Amino acid sequence: MPEPTPDAVPPVGADGNRDLDRYAEGSLEPGLVVAQANLYVSAVESGGEGTRRVGRGLGIGAWLAIGWLAFIVIVAVLAQLGVLPLKDPNRSYVSCARRGPFSTDGTASGFLLGCDSNGRDMIARLAYGSWSSLIVATGAVLFGLVFGGTFGLIAGYFGRRTDAVITSLFNVFLAIPAVVLALALVAFLAGAAASTGRSSVDPKLILILAIGIVSIPLLGRITRASALSWSQREFVLAARAQGAKPVRIMLREVLPNVLPAMFSITLLGIAVAIVAEGTLSILGVGVRPPTPSWGNIIGLDRGRLKESPHIIFLPALMIFFTVLSLNFLGDVVRARLDVRESAV
């Protein structure tokens, strides 16, 4: 006889108890395991319906993070489009140079956040700089995700020798200090661009490639781990039994399940890439001045921390809040991945 129509019920199989035990963290009380079954899972075990899918509120932290990121992105885009009433980020107001909040030279009227050592308006530079920083970080991570994700998916799905080869390549890359690798890549790519007569190549593109290549093994390994565990599920075997080709299985069966993990790591990755861009800029190989980025604002005036702290701290704060928001959201996304599915 057919069962009644389903109504958003979590799957409660005969293995409900096993699930309970799996989640019950066993702290070994001598003589028996104290099953600290969390109540959420207990509810699942006891057939509590609809508990899993009920939307859990995001919480104020996540909304603050989303708000900040939305603000930064909107400012970056609008500044780039030139619709914001900002001063020219490259125009020097010599009288205001180095002046700003907490500066030993005092504040400059008309410049809310002061100016940098060349007398350029900090607000304008931060706003335009956010475009550079975000585009480099996002671009780099997307680049790393496409290549790292593809390699990771292939390694995780095929396993065996393919996996061994790809994983060792990842490991070789991971063994090289990231900053050194990125520096070398920037030098190499810039040289390559110059030698082929394309010296007009946007330096941001070179940065995207350099940071992107560095991020491939990191993103690839995470994709591989997730793909490996999903590839061992029986629905993948079922697809093979139906005659699906490997590419179809990877794209239709494995990838959709790996995507949430990849999304969560993308957010964290962008955060890391923003810091990486900043680091490279401070080392003098980042976004090329006069185009501002958060990193090169700091890098240009890194010697003036004492007399004009605002020049260093303002972009640092931008990086801080953006990275914090991304990390926080990354964790929220990861926590919201289906508990049962990620616990495989």
Partner 1 sequence: MTVPVAEPTAEPVPGAPLLEVTDLTTHFATPGGIVRAVDGVSLTLERGKTLGIVGESGSGKTVLSRSIMGLLPKRGTIRGGSVRFDGVELMTRSPKEMRDFWGARMAMIFQDPMTSLNPVMKIGKQITESIRHHLDVDREYATELAVNLLRSVRIPEPERRLRDYPHQLSGGMRQRVCIAVALACGPALLFADEPTTALDVTVQAQVLDLMAAQQRERFMAIVLITHDLGVVAGRADEIAVMYAGRIVEKAPTSVLFTQTRMPYTKALLSSIPKLEHPSHSRLATIPGRPPNLVAPPAGCKFAPRCAQAQPRCLEEDPPLVPGVVPGHEYRCWFPVGTPEGDDALARNQAAGTTAIAGGAA
Partner 2 sequence: MAGRGTAHLRDPEASLLRVEHLVVEFPVGRTGLVVNAVSDVSLDILEGETLGIVGESGCGKSTTGRAVMQLPPPKSGTVVYDGMELTALKGEALRATRPRLQMIFQDPISSLNPRRTVRDIVREGLDIWGIGDKAARDAKVDEVLEAVGIDPANAGRRPHEFSGGQCQRISIARAVVTEPKLIICDEPVSALDVSVQAQILNLLEDMKARYGLTLVFIAHDLAVVKNVSDRVMVMYLGKVCEVAAPDSLYASPAHPYTAALLAAIPVPDPGVRPDTSRVLGGEIPSPMAPPSGCRFRTRCPRAEERCATEEPELRTVADGQYVACHFPLDPGETIDFGPRAG
| Sole binder of partner 2 in the list 40, 102, 235, 320 (CB under 8 A) | 235
Q: Which is nearer to partner 1, 5 or 196 (CB)?
A: 5
46 binds, among partner 2, partner 1, none (CB under 5 to 8 A by kind): partner 1
Instruction: Return d(Cα 210, Cα 231) in angstroms, integer.
Output: 31
Write out the binding residues for partner 2, residues 185-204 only, by CB under 8 A.
none
Query: Shortest Cβ distance from residue 212 to partner 1 (Å)?
Result: 39
Binding of partner 2 at residue 56 (CB under 8 A)? no
Binding of partner 2 at residue 55 (CB under 8 A)? no
Torsion angle of the four alpha carbons 53, 55, 58, 59, in this order, in degrees rounded to the nearest 10: -110
Query: How many CB atoms are located within 10 Å of the residue 184 CB?
Result: 13
| Sole binder of partner 2 in the list 118, 130, 167, 257 (CB under 8 A) | 257
Instruction: Return d(Cα 316, Cα 301) in angstroms, integer.
Output: 12
In the block, residue with structure tokens 């390699």: 151
| Sole binder of partner 2 in the list 6, 31, 57, 197 (CB under 8 A) | 6
| Sole binder of partner 2 in the list 9, 165, 184, 343 (CB under 8 A) | 9
Instruction: Compute CA distances 314 → 61, 109, 126, 141, whole Å.
Output: 22, 18, 8, 25
3-state secondary structure of 35: strand
43 binds, among partner 1, partner 2, none (CB under 5 to 8 A by kind): partner 1
Instruction: Compute CA distances 69 → 74, 121, 139, 163, 325, whole Å.
Output: 8, 22, 16, 37, 7
Instruction: Compute CA distances 208 → 131, 190, 205, 282, whole Å.
Output: 13, 12, 5, 16
Q: Which residues would be at the binding site for partner 1 (CB under 8 A)?
A: 1-4, 9, 12-18, 20-22, 24, 26, 28-40, 42-43, 45-51, 54, 56
> Which residues make up the interface to partner 2 (CB under 8 A)?
1-3, 5-15, 52-53, 233-235, 237-245, 248, 252-253, 256-257, 338, 340-341, 344
